[in-house]
Amino acid sequence: MEQPITGFRLDEVDDWVAVLACGHGQHVRHEPPLTFRPWVLTPAGRQAKIGWMLNCVRCDRGEPPTEKPMESIETLTTERLTAERFRPDHYDLLCRLHRDPVVMATLGGVRSDETTRQNLQDYIAHWETHGFGLWLLRDRASGEFAGRAGLKGIEIGGHWEIEVGYTFLQPYWGRGLATEIAAATLEVGFERLGLEELVCFTLPTNLASKRVMEKVGFVFEREVMHTGEATILHRLTLDEYRQGRGGQPTDR
């Protein structure tokens, strides 16, 4: 019986399994010379196959579902936050964040509404190209806009890297929310997208952000110039994350 793909997961030996709407899983390995599925190796490739039909022999055999329902990475819920993929109607909220000089002091300063419009277009295009990106964050209890966070491809230090980012409106600072969304972002990046490593960087003076990086497991790698400023680049690999460093607070 034909069933649509609703998501993907890695099995215990890091092979990709397509999760079907019926609740059954089916391996979709890229194993040349016998099977060619290069698309399965990239988040954008997998994202493009959501909704594709696969023949499910387990349905034909009447087997019970074996897979947990897949939650799309376009939305996310943590203990105190909800996250949603950026959309055009988020423009006014993003402007509020980008107009605040205190929030933006460590991010190159306030941005004009025109720059924010371009940023939003870039965030939306990033989702379309890569199958992941930045989310708009809301306070889960009130539904109020709280900030933005997520994963973004970026050229830094002469390499293409995938960055974990987080920025909150001032009333949400100092409550552990950046740590909460950073930990959830790592889970998406490593466990759901199968990324090999992630980076995070900030100004050396941004001690709160540096502390968030350390708390979720990032390790200082080197100083790097980025958009004319010296920044401290931190990195976390999938192996380190799986060895339990991810999400574990480290000593200051």
Ligand X SMILES: CC(C)(COP(=O)(O)OP(=O)(O)OC[C@H]1O[C@@H](n2cnc3c(N)ncnc32)[C@H](O)[C@@H]1OP(=O)(O)O)[C@@H](O)C(=O)NCCC(=O)NCCS
Nearer to ligand X, 211 or 245 (CB): 211
Determine which residue in the list 208, 219, 225, 230 makes contact with ligand X, applying CB under 6 A: 208
Kindly write down the DSSP assignment for every residue of 29-46, as one continuous string: --BTTTB--GGGGSHHHH
Determine which residue in the list 207, 219, 225, 230 makes contact with ligand X, applying CB under 6 A: 207
Distances (CA, A) of 168 to 71, 104, 181, 242, 250: 24, 10, 11, 28, 23
Determine which residue in the list 16, 166, 190, 241 makes contact with ligand X, applying CB under 6 A: 166
The residue type at 172: Y
**Burial annotation 177-213 (CB, 10 A radius, 16+ → b, else e):** bbbbbbbbbbbbbbebbbbeebbbbbbeebeebbebb
Rounded Cα gap, residues 238 and 13, in angstroms: 13
Query: Which one of 12-20, 62-70, 110-118, 163-171 is the stretch in contact with ligand X (CB under 6 A)?
Result: 163-171
Using an 8 Å Cβ cutoff, are 138 and 82 in contact? yes
Minimum distance, C-beta of residue 103 to ligand X, in the bound complex (Å): 5
Nearer to ligand X, 3 or 209 (CB): 209
Nearer to ligand X, 132 or 168 (CB): 168
Minimum distance, C-beta of residue 198 to ligand X, in the bound complex (Å): 13
Using an 8 Å Cβ cutoff, are 209 and 178 in contact? yes
The residue type at 240: E
Residues 30-69 touching ligand X, rule: CB under 6 A, are none
Tokens of 78: 């943590």
Residues 168-187 touching ligand X, rule: CB under 6 A, are 168, 173-179
Residues 210-229 touching ligand X, rule: CB under 6 A, are 211-212
**Burial annotation 166-175 (CB, 10 A radius, 16+ → b, else e):** bbbbeebeee
Nearer to ligand X, 56 or 134 (CB): 134
Nearer to ligand X, 167 or 185 (CB): 167
Nearer to ligand X, 57 or 207 (CB): 207
Residues 80-139 touching ligand X, rule: CB under 6 A, are 103, 106-107
Minimum distance, C-beta of residue 191 to ligand X, in the bound complex (Å): 21
Rg of the chain's alpha carbons, rounded to an integer? 19
Q: Torsion over CA of 93, 94, 97 and 100, rounded to 10 degrees?
A: -100
Determine which residue in the list 98, 202, 217, 218 makes contact with ligand X, applying CB under 6 A: 202
The site for ligand X (CB under 6 A) is made up of: 103, 106-107, 166-168, 173-179, 202, 206-209, 211-212
